[in-house]
Structure 1
């Protein structure tokens, strides 16, 4: 059972499928830093670094040996920015909106058994009419004998220590796909917490680096922001500051209170973004009040449930972008496990 990961980024979905027992055979992405990270972490996989619009079906087929005799799974987690609620300048002419449609020619030619799509909530509601990109993709699946289901899910219900709402689409060739059962937050099962995932990492101050892990690196924080953090309790934010520390833009504005806030130890964190290692871009302050800094790359990666030895390449901005854009590994693994079981059940029925 072989995985082809379109728009793979650094490989969050691929790692989840690998941990569930699948063979990750090919990643496709145009970003050079993501490509380097992917190839570092999946040395046995093939890779195509190119815009999907310039990749031909034959190029993919050539990279995946014996694909005709394999059960293929496609991951297709296209860039989410055109549909994100954080994007205040969404326009219908944004050419990234059509990227999901680019996978149709590969689906038509290679006929994967399963298709896994993860994106921000919003893609399904933008022009859901017949001419919308999401509706058009669903019509395509119907025409080519795929049954599908889509839901908006939140990753903390699957064991990820992060409140991260996403649209997930599952499609299955000639069969009805099944969503995994919720594993956390039900029947008194507590959510995974920030403490569970980063509580044992060595403490750091702003600007310091763990000598044993270069990705456990805390960004430099300006002195005035250090002072603000010193007035921010665990789980707190700017509302805890004395008036003289407030930013001018916040004095008559009550929204966006997560900015400059600290995480809580005993709860999942808020959604990690592409700037998740900066305190000025969300509730990304470390929960320990003795550590006046933002979370590190390693801490962010662990909260995205990457393994502790996963590597990220590129400069600071590139690393944060890869981590924030990734599919949480554990979330992908939960969906992959369901696909694995369905494939084996089908094989058993077929004898």
Structure 2
């Protein structure tokens, strides 16, 4: 069985390591504010064990015991303050500071007036039980706001610590050897508690990184105005999408869509009105195509729809007609209804090309043929133009 000295030496060393980890987390921008408080709590815990170790080695008297009790009270205060700040509870931390000051005063006044070590021990037991119960309640009550699994572990460890503190004196009175074993158990449970809090913060940090990565990818592959995919998305994923979206004897149609006379909206009503029109156009393109199709904005008033899994080329006629009809519905912007028209060029994979660049180039040529023929219609490269319906 480990001696008291070994238990406190190991406890102090491990607490110091955990303190460093919490301080490291605290240095990361926008980290949960509980990390700093728990680092401070661990620092007081480490100091308490060092003080108790020195007390054992020097056989010091009551003043040293009072210092140990005072440090443990400060640890408890920082622990519960960290829980309050972690979950942003509407509890004034000045109340925690005031309670800590009152308990510290009680400890030192008791020392001055000849209070026994047992009285200080009972004070420490009472404070520890209340703090651990409060910590357990907060951890379990609000566990879903951080990381439910690890906060449940922290709450369970806190409950066991509360029970441990409540029973420590009765057990030692009945079973004196429990003094060293109880210290070892208390250190173990405390380490589990802080390890769970640390793991919860790390999991929260990991989630932040994943969300940031997802957001960055979303920004990289989406048009910020309309929310549609952009050219980068198509260039990056077209070949993979082609393999997944086509089967033998199936076609893929690439539709280049250019709004007719869109510049007049910007000139007459301003760019904000033009942006509103583009947003509505993007919504209508999405609604007029299937979930397996890809809609993208290339820039300005140019859009692309990649329609997959077509059995016959004639299906492209129906898609183009549907798009022209959807876009022809008036769009209200800047307190005015704008009647939009569009020119659409269509190319097929694999008939008109095997790469996205080739397909876009041929669809673009077909679209400009529609423009030159009077606008508002569609053309399948290199076939005849069709009027919009």
Tell me the TM-score normalized by structure 1: 0.24
Larger Rg: 1 or 2? 2
Tell me the TM-score normalized by structure 2: 0.22
